Structure 1
Amino acid sequence: MENIANENIFIDEAENLAINAVIKKGIIDYNSPFFGSNPSQPFTIYIKDIKSDVIAGLTGFYKGKYTRVDLLWIHEDFRHQGLGRKLILKLEEFSKIKGCLYIQLDTFDFQARPFYEKLGFKCIGTISKWVEDRDCHFMRKTLS
């Protein structure tokens, strides 16, 4: 083990892609005996309007038997028109093709928990008063 008596600790108040890559590789290498060496695969599913502007989309990754949604967004002018449902249904189709058995995501109390529940997601845990005193719900759907 290397002596770190003279370590320097840094804070970057912006995303540092080079350092993030080192950290990501380190945790992937550490985790590989437990989860295998296949890295997670990122994806983006999105909808464009007739002018080719992105009006809705979701981002995430899949690995092994699960899919993780990081972000889901719908432009304010296009909400309540079924686009979120269409994105989730496309995600389910994509996840099944990739061999995934379930989808996981999280949502704050002011966001979309009832929306996800209508689509078959179950709340599997909650962190109360997390960010800005808002509850964060962790949700999962088992694919059939």
Structure 2
Amino acid sequence: MTTARRPVLSVGEEDTELYDRLDKELTAFNDAATPGAARAELSVKVTDAHGELIGGLSGWTWGRLCGVELLWVREDSRKDGWGTKLLQAAEAEAVRRGCDAAVLSSYTFQAPDFYRRHGYVEAGRLPDVPGGHEDVYLHKRLTA
């Protein structure tokens, strides 16, 4: 007689194998629900004369939508316009890929006003982020 193995639930720290599997499974599910809306990663970076990172942007395009996940500029370069240049380069690449909209979120202690100055409109916010902050969701129509 064989005994059926019971499911095991585990909780832990970062699990890259799990993350990769979940990403693969959800991508397949999303692709099936949105035929023809291919997803591709998007990155933009700027380095100094020594090859050190000044700043960068990481995101994705999916069908006609661009998502900005991370945008960071080194503290000593934050007043040099690199955030604007990174964002504009990502938006231009998104338009080149056929996108007509972009979405992102920014905590109230980060840069929602920066994105508003670049044409993003608030679409909602999530209260009670630790420290009494909010997560602001923003959207922008992109034009060629």
Unaligned runs of 5+ in 2: none
- Give the Å deviation of 1:27: 1.8
Counterpart of 2:7 in structure 1 is 7
Whether 1:96 aligns to 2:91 is no
User: 1:72 corresponds to which residue?
Assistant: 71
Q: SS of the counterpart of 1:22?
A: helix
Superposition map of 1:49-128 within 5 A: 49-128=48-127
Given that 1:28 and 1:39 are in contact with CA atoms closer than 8 Å, whether structure 2 keeps it comes out as no
Structure 1 letter corresponding to 2:24: K
> Residues 92-124 of structure 1, C-alpha deviation per residue, up to 9 Å, x if partnerless?
110110000111100000111111111100000
How much does 1:133 deviate?
Answer: 2.7
Instruction: Give the secondary structure class of the aligned counterpart of 1:111.
Output: coil
Distance 2:71 2:118 in 1: 14
Q: Map of 1:7-46 to 2, 5 A cutoff?
A: 7-14=7-14, 16-36=15-35, 39-46=38-45
* 1:129-140 mapped onto 2 (5 Å cutoff): 129-140=128-139
TM-score, normalization by structure 1: 0.89
Separation (CA, whole Å) in 2 of partners of 1:61 and 1:38:
12
Deviates more, 1:79-88 or 1:28-37: 28-37
Aligned equivalents of 1:106 and 1:5: distance in 2?
42
Mean CA deviation greater in 19-28 or 62-71:
19-28
Distance 1:41 1:74, change over 3 A: same
How far does the alpha carbon of each residue in 1:27-68 deviate from its partner, in whole angstroms, 9 at most, with x for none?
223333322275521121000011111110010111100110
